[in-house]
């Protein structure tokens, strides 16, 4: 993996956050604070860039794991930011009860409805306060499409979107994010017992290494060909998530 000057990197990211918010004439940022490392790092960088009074953290439980809320509260308290809990479980259940008589669904669609409800709620809060919605995606997850389109992928900008997962961990330690958050198994929290690495079928360390080498056209000879192919396939399938929806030209 590449070697970075993390102190310089943190300064650069927080400057970019400040510049982007100012360019949009926004008053601050709002984010979903999940209790995981990515949202914790993003919140901490936002505080450094804008001040704690201009950062709003939202917890949006939807049949969620109670510990995630407690972890989000810990981060918000440590950073001193405004933190609100907006319970979405009953809203989700009501939508499903209406849909199920009209549309035959599947587990994936049901799970992805949760982050899409959260996205709509975060944007409601952001627009109400003249805040931008700041994303929490990292390079590794964005590259393979490990996010919900128009869910957690529906944001105004992604300040840690160029950092691989291992680099997010390094930044977290410099920012003094609690070790319990750093060492917590990454999870999107879409269902009970869901762990990112189990669902992806590969560790983040291996994903980081393969994606990094693919990004920079580096030698892959010492890595497993089957795993490289799997990652390439995931990246190819994720293109529609990472690109602006196409428009088809009319030729006259």
Residue 191 has a pLDDT of: 62
99-130 pLDDT, tens digit each: 888 888 999 999 999 999 999 999 999 999 99
21-33 pLDDT, tens digit each: 999 999 999 999 9
Residue 217 has a pLDDT of: 97
174-223 pLDDT, tens digit each: 999 999 999 998 876 666 667 888 889 999 999 999 999 999 999 999 99
The structure's pTM equals 0.94
Domains of the chain: 6-242 (3.40.50.620)
3-state secondary structure of 202: coil
229-250 pLDDT, tens digit each: 999 999 999 999 999 898 988 9
């Amino acid at each position: 993996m590449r070697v970075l000057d993390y102190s310089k990197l943190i300064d650069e990211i927080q400057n970019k956050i400040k510049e982007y918010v100012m360019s949009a004439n926004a008053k601050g940022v709002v984010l979903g604070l999940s209790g995981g490392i990515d949202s914790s790092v993003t919140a901490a960088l936002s505080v450094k860039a804008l001040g704690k009074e201009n950062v709003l953290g939202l917890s949006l439980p939807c049949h969620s794991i109670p510990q995630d809320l407690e972890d989000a509260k810990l981060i918000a308290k440590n950073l001193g930011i405004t933190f609100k809990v907006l319970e979405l479980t009953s809203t989700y259940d009501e939508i499903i009860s209406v849909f199920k008589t009209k549309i035959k669904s599947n587990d994936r669609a049901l799970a992805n409805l949760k982050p899409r409800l959260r996205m709509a709620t975060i944007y409601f809060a952001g627009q109400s306060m003249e805040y931008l919605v700041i994303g929490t995606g990292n390079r590794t997850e964005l590259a393979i499409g490990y996010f919900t389109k128009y869910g957690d992928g529906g944001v105004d900008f992604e300040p840690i979107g160029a950092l691989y997962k291992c680099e997010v961990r390094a930044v977290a330690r410099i920012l003094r994010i609690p070790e319990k958050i750093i060492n917590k198994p990454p999870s999107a929290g879409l269902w009970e017992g869901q762990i990112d690495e189990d669902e992806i079928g590969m560790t983040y360390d291996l994903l980081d290494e393969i994606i990094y080498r693919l990004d920079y056209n580096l030698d892959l000879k010492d890595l497993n060909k089957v795993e490289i192919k799997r990652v390439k396939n995931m990246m190819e399938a994720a293109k529609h998530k990472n690109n602006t929806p196409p428009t088809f030209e009319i030729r006259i």
